[in-house]
Every structure is written in C-alpha cells, then in structure tokens.
Structure 1
Amino acid sequence: MISLLHTADWQIGRVFSQFEPDDAAALFEARFKAVERLAAIAAERKVDAVLVAGDVFDLQTVSDKTIRRMFNAMQGFAGPWLLIPGNHDSALSESVWSRAQRLGAVAPNIVCCLEPRPHTVAGKFTLLPAPLTQRHTYGDLTDWFAAEPDEEGLPRIGLAHGCVQGILSEDIDSANPIAAGRAAQARLDYLALGDWHGTRQIDDRTWYAGTPETDRFRANDSGQALLVAIDGAGAVPAVEPVRVGQFDWQQWEPRLAVPSDIDELVRKLEQIGSGDVLQLRAQGTCDLAGHNRLGAALDAARARARALVWEGEALRLEPTEEDIQALHADGFVGEALQALREQQGDTDAELARDALLTLARILGAQQGSSHAGAGA
C-alpha cells in the first residue's frame, strides 16, 4: 500500500493588490503558512510522498527571498516531495526553478521534475510527470504516459497541470489540454492534477487537489489537499480531502429593499471574524437611517475581518421624509437634497448618492454641534 498527499497551485508570491496593504501582506504570508501545514500533515499521516501538481510559484520573477522561504516551509516533512512546473512557473531555459537550483535552496528530498521522464520513488511507485516547459501548450503533454512500460508490481502515478477536456464550456479553447480518460488509457492508478483551484473529482482515478489556501471569491471547494491511499497496482484509490487553508473567502450579493433586509445584513456582518475575507456587493435601495446603520456595521466588521471589500455602487439611497425632517433641511438645502434624490436615477447616480451622503453628514454634524453648544 502507498499513501500520498496531493496538492497544487500554491501560487507562492502572489500579490493581492485589490486589498489594503496590511490585508494583502497577510494573504501573501498565508501561502507560506499553507506549505508549512502541508508538511505537518504529511509528517503526521506518514505519507510516502507529497505530489505538487504545478503553479508552485505565482510568477517567474518572485524574489530570491521568496524562493528560499518557500523551500524552507517544506522542511517539516523529510520524505519525498515531487514537484512539477505549471503555466505560472513553467520550466523555461531560465526560470524560477533554475534560480532555485543556483541558490542552493532545493533540499535533497525535493525532486523538481523539469523533464518528462519516469521516476521510481523509494521503490514504492513510478511517477510519470508532465511538466510545462512553456506557459501555454496546445498539445497534450500526458500523451507519453501510455507508451511508458510498467515497472512490475509498482503503482503508476501521473502528475500533470492543465485542463481535462470537456470540463469547460464547449466554446472555450483552453490551453494545456489533458485528454479525458487519460488515467484509464495510460494504466494509471492515480492522476494528480493542478490548474483548477478547487478540489474536483474527474473520475475514480483522476482528481484536482485545488489550491491549499483560497485565493479568489468563488465557491469552488478550495483550501484543501487530498490524502490518497492505494492498496496496490490496479486498486482504486481512496481519496480523502483534508482542510489546509486559514482563510474563508466569501462573496455576498444581498438585494436590499426594506428595513428588515438591513437588519439581516447587519446580523450577518456581526458574525464576521478574523478568518474571513469578504466581498460584499449590495444592490437595491435603503433609507438614510439604514445606510448609517449599515456603515457602522461595516466599520465594525472591517476591524474584525482579515479583509473586507465593500462595493455599494448599485445601492440606491432613498431618504425618507422622516430622514430629511430629522436633518432639519429646509429652503435651498431641502431642495438640494430632493434634487440629489432624483438624480440617482441618472447616469451620474453614484456621484449623486455620494453628494447626498456628504450633505447628510454635514447637516448631521451641524446638528450635533448645535446640541452640544446648547448643552454648554
């Protein structure tokens, strides 16, 4: 029996420019922590090897420090690590892999499979890797698997990075194709794939592990690795997803219409914690009082969350008569407020909403000042 830990798409060095600098730095750091957790899982479960199915690095130009840190993060597991390049870190003549070798960063137990040739691993299985040597190919780099003769009695494991044909929509011509049914056609006991960032089963012997640390707002079952147990050559593998990721990325798109919708959204925001990365896209309408409540809830949630991205361009502000009366806006100011309410239906809706909020804040602040002066 052999046991493997299958992972992929570490994207080490990824820059999260859509977030505030402190949040981006934490998400950058989390990818190294994920590798450390993978090493700990591999050691705890006593696997025979860790398979890393490409896109180990996010780009070729990561710093030397990042390269060293990544390989240092793997030190918690002393067994074999078997890595292939993907489309982000393809094995060009001069690449992040050649730099890693020159830096002396690659430990003896780490095998960077930069050529399509078989490896016998610890006398327990045969690895057939299909490394990408350029970013995009339009031929199937796993073709050679079928012609490779069996090593008697050893399970055959494929390792590749690309798109199994037939997964994407028919009108999408994806680069780096992998034939559907490759595992059966090439007599593989298991085909470990990378490129798809979520965990996904293709058939009994073919799986995408997904990225071990979620990196996008998409419900694709990411943040995991796969523990694979194979009783022997020809046996169907037993595959167990294991949680690795630190952060939970969520995308909310609430439609607001009545005050109770604001109540519900505020309640949900109160549950946000330090492990959450949230993108909130609100649409619909709310009154000024509701908008103020939502703003306060967002400010509180930002302080608790790892990262929170608010997109309120599609939320129309509809102050009620009570809102306007509470601001004591009459005469010219009242007319301006009414005009801004009406302009939210025009092409400059976002500008009108922002002006309306600004004017409301000014009036509210003046009101607060006058009350304070009266109390003095």
Structure 2
Amino acid sequence: MPLRFLHCSDLQIGRSFAFAPPDKATLLAEARIDALDRLAAAARGCGAPRILVAGDVFDGTQLSDRTLDRALARMAAASDLIWHLLPGNHDPHRPGGLWERLGRKGWPANVRPHLAAEPVPLDPAPGEPPAVLLPSPLGYRRVPGDPTVWMDGAATDEGVLRIGLAHGAVAGFGAEEGTEANPIAPDRAARAHLAYLALGDWHRSIRVGPATWYSGTPEPDRFRVDPDGDGTRCVGGVALAVEIDAPGAVRVTRVPTGRFVWHCAEPVLAEAAEIDALAERFEAMPEAAEIVLRLAPRGALTLAGRAHFRDRIEERLAARLRWLDLDLAGLEVRPEDEELAAIDLEGAVRIAADRLAARARDPADPAAATARRALVELWLMRELAR
C-alpha cells in the first residue's frame, strides 16, 4: 500500500481582497475558509489520511481571533484526517506571534504545526510504508538563504520515506511576479534523498521535477493574464493527490478544489456579433454562476455597438456571473456620422453633442474618453425616448 497524502499550500485565510467591492470581497474571503472543507473532501476522495499544507495557511500575522478560531474549528471537524501546517512568508513563525497565539488557543488533536526544522515521523496508516516529514518553517517573510539546506544532512532511519515540506521560490525556475524570495535549490529533492518535496508559495500547480511539485492554491485569489497567449486565462483551485510506493515511484494527480473560477479576458471587439459570442462563451460554462471575470476589452465600437455592449455584457452577462470586473480603458467609441445625425437634439444640446464628437475622435485630447462616455449616454437617452 502506498503512502498517500494531499499536498496543498497558500490558503491565505484572512485575506481582505481590498480590490473587490465589499460584498464580493466578503464572498471571496469566506471561500478561503470553506476551502478547508473542500480539501478534507478531496483527501477522503483520494484515500489520503493526511493533508500537508506547504506554508501560508494564513494571510498575515495580525488576524482576528474569530478568523483563527474558525480555521481551527474547520480542521478539527475533519477529525478523520491529520493536518500538517507549515509557516510561510505570509504567516512566519515569530516569538510571540501568530503561531504562539494559535498554540495558546489549543491545537486540535488532529492538527500538527511544524515550527522547527527537524525530522518528524508521519503516523502511518495501516499498510503504509514508514515515512518522516522534513519541514522548513519560515521565521521571517524573507530568509537570507535556502531554507531547505538542512534537509541534506537530516538523519533518518534506513528505508524510511523522506518527505520535504517547504515554502519559497525554486532558484532559476522562473519565480512568480519577478521575485525569488526564500530561494530553494531546484535539485533539493535529489540532494536530500527526498521521495517527495512539497512546495508552496507559487499559486499555480507546477511540476519542478519528478519528486518536486508546487501544489498551487486551493482557492484562487487573483486575476492572471497569459502574456504569451491571447490575453485570456482561467485559474481554478487545485491540490495534489500524492501516492508514493518507494523513492522514485511517485504518482501525482491534480484535484480540483476551488469554489470560484477566475477568468481574465482581453478580447478585441468591433461588432455586435463579437459581443454576443463573448457573452455566450461564458454563459455556456457549467460553472457560470461561480465565475469571477475581469474583462478588459479592446477595440472600437460605434454608438450602437457600445449600447449593445452595455446591454449584453454589463447587464445580462454580469447578472449570470458571480462578479464581473470591467476595465473599459481600452474600448473606444467611434460614432458614425449617421449616428450623430440621428440624435434628435436641438440648440445648445446639439452644439454640445457635436463638440463631444470632435473631442471623442481626437486621440490627443485628454478628455476624449470622457467625451466618448457622454456620447454613449446621449445615444442611450435617444434610444429610451423612442
């Protein structure tokens, strides 16, 4: 029977989501607590008796007692599972800090915090091979060197599976967001004779090597654009179901765990058919009601096209999704002459409309975007009055 565990990281419980409207921020924050229940269900589904959390269980060190109590209660409720927790860069272990607060509250019987870099035997389930956990907790947001170096010389019994647990950026592997804080050697698993190295810090599921993986976050927390693609990217929450028969015999399976699916799209729009296709694409997704979409369209629309965008996307599509976050800075409005002529206005309002049109067409005019929005409103007023 293989050694089984669920590998996850970067729950970041307690995140505030300041960039979202208050009602949406509350939903997103709640999903991070609920992720504990989904992780427990995923572990049971793959027959794993334990969950390894590779850092950033919490989003900060100054969280409320209510947030901490709720997290401990959710883990305690999954009493059939053992939770192995590691301090990361968002929740480092400092004297008098978050982890000591949690300890004073009393750790549930099924929760194991790993606050020191020392081998810890894993309680084997019946039939599992013996294993030892080598955790590398962070004591600061940034540490001066590789926090996993100690694993190379860590003494363990002969024939025991060595499982590393760490949080940081694999050096030279392309750190997220241009940083390599807490660098980890890419060949650490080989150097330390690890059967598996469970990593956290990067919010994507990434295979560094046969025995070295980033799990990714179980609940996404940000929009991501694919810089090498078409400007579209979908991010869902995952954890890794890991089975190890022996060193070199590792099976890793991605398991969906997220509630919300985060999409980011930058489509080029020029006509109504493209607007309809965009809306239909997301409405047809089975998880549409749980989609969080940042939409940053580019291109140029006529007044009629812009009005159609407002109706089809800003109103009808937005009502179907969990949250539609619009960035309209790249979407221009270029009124056609016949559209302007059709705006049945007289006197000073007619003169104002003509001046707005002239400014809207001038890319050098700093008020061009405001003029375009005003023209759209005039067009909509005309349509409503018909």
TM-score, structure 1 as length reference: 0.91
Match of 1:34 in 2: 35
**Does structure 2 retain, via aligned residues, the 8 Å contact 1:15–1:28?**
yes
**Quick check: 2:241–2:254 contact (8 Å CA) kept in 1?**
yes
Query: What is the letter of the counterpart of residue 19 of structure 2?
Result: Q
Structure 1 contact 140–179 (Cα < 8 Å) conserved: yes
Q: Give the corresponding residue for 2:187.
A: 181
Shift of the alpha carbon at 1:49?
Answer: 1.9
Answer whether contact 1:286 1:318 (CA < 8 A) is retained.
yes
User: Is 1:337 matched with 2:356?
Assistant: no
CA contact (8 A) 2:295 2:324 kept: yes
After the TM superposition, which of the residue ranges 11-20 and 185-194 deviates more from structure 2? 11-20
Instruction: List per-residue Cα deviations over 1:168-213 (Å, max 9, x = no partner).
Output: 2799552101011000010000000000001000000000000001
Q: Give the structure 2 partner of residue 253 of structure 1.
A: 266
Match of 1:289 in 2: 304
The aligned residue for residue 281 of structure 2 is 268
Q: Deviations over 1:280-325 (max 9, x none)?
A: 0012111111111111122122222111101112211122233234
2:234–2:262: 8 Å Cα contact kept in structure 1?
no
**Deviations 1:20-59 (Å, cap 9, x if unpaired)?**
2221111111111111011122234331421100000011
Give the one of 140, 151, 155 matched to 2:157. Answer: 151
The residue aligned with 1:120 is 121
Of 187-196 and 34-43, the range deviating more from structure 2: 34-43
Partner Cα distance (1:274, 1:176) in 2:
38
Q: In structure 1, the residue corresponding to 2:25 is in which secondary structure?
A: helix
Matched, 1:130 2:136: yes
Instruction: Determine the C-alpha separation between the residues in 1 that align with 2:169 and 2:322.
Output: 32
Q: Look up the match of 1:2.
A: 3
Say which of 200, 203, 210 aligns to 1:197. Answer: 203
2:147 match: secondary structure: coil
- Give 2:217's aligned residue: 211
Aligned to 1:240: 253
TM-superposed CA distance for 1:112, in Å, is 0.6
SS in 2 for 1:231: strand
Q: CA RMSD in A?
A: 2.1
Contact 1:317 1:341 in 2 (8 A): no
**Aligned residue identity for 1:33:** D
- The count of corresponding residues between Structure 1 and Structure 2 is 365
Q: Hey, what's the Cα distance between the residues in 1 that align with 2:177 and 2:271?
A: 41
2:228 equivalent in structure 1: none
Instruction: Give 1:310's match in structure 2, choosing from 326, 334, 342.
Output: 326
SS in structure 2 of the partner of residue 274 of structure 1: helix
User: Residue 225 of structure 1 aligns with which residue?
Assistant: 239
- Any idea what the Cα deviations from partners look like across 1:210-232, whole Å, max 9, x if unmatched? 00011111248641000110113
Per-residue CA deviation, residues 217-268 of structure 1 (Å, 9 max, x unaligned), is 1248641000110113x23211011110011100110112234333323433
Whether 2:339 is the aligned partner of 1:323: answer: yes
Mapped to 1, the partners of 2:261 and 2:120 lie a distance apart of 37
Q: Is the 8 A contact 2:197 2:212 kept in 1?
A: yes
Distance of aligned partners of 1:267 and 1:47 in 2 relative to their CA distance in 1, 3 Å threshold: closer
Q: Partners in 2 of 1:57 and 1:99 — Cα distance?
A: 13
Of residues 167-176 and 18-27 in structure 1, the stretch that sits farther from structure 2 once superposed is 167-176
Deviation at 1:137, TM superposition (A): 1.2
More moved, 89-98 vs 239-248: 89-98
Structure 1 runs not aligned, ≥5 long: 369-376
Unaligned runs of 5+ in 2: 125-129, 225-232
Q: Secondary structure at the match of 2:327?
A: strand
Give the structure 1 partner of residue 227 of structure 2: none
Residue 198 of structure 1 contacts residue 220 of structure 1 at CA under 8 Å; is this kept in 2? no
1:4 to partner: Cα distance: 0.9
Which SS does the other structure have where 1:146 is aligned?
helix
For the Cα contact (< 8 Å) 1:199–1:221, is it kept in 2?
no
Query: Would you say 1:59 and 2:60 are equivalent positions?
Result: yes
What's the CA shift for 1:337?
2.0
CA distance in 2, matches of 1:86, 1:222: 22
**1:43–1:76 CA contact under 8 A, matched in 2:** no
**Are 1:42 and 1:77, in contact at CA under 8 Å, matched by a contact in 2?**
no
Could you tell me how far 1:269 is from its partner in structure 2? Answer: 5.0
TM-score normalised to structure 2 length: 0.89
Over the matched positions of the two proteins, sequence identity in percent amounts to 39
SS in 1 for 2:297: strand
Distance 1:269 1:128 in 2: 44
Distance 1:314-1:58 versus aligned 2 partners, 3 A rule: same
Equivalent AA in structure 2 for residue 356 of structure 1: L
Moved more, 139-148 or 165-174: 165-174
| Cα distance per residue 1:56-100 (max 9 Å; x no partner) | 001111111111111222222423211100000000112221111
Q: Is the 8 A contact 1:15 1:24 kept in 2?
A: yes
Change (3 A) 1:259 1:306: closer
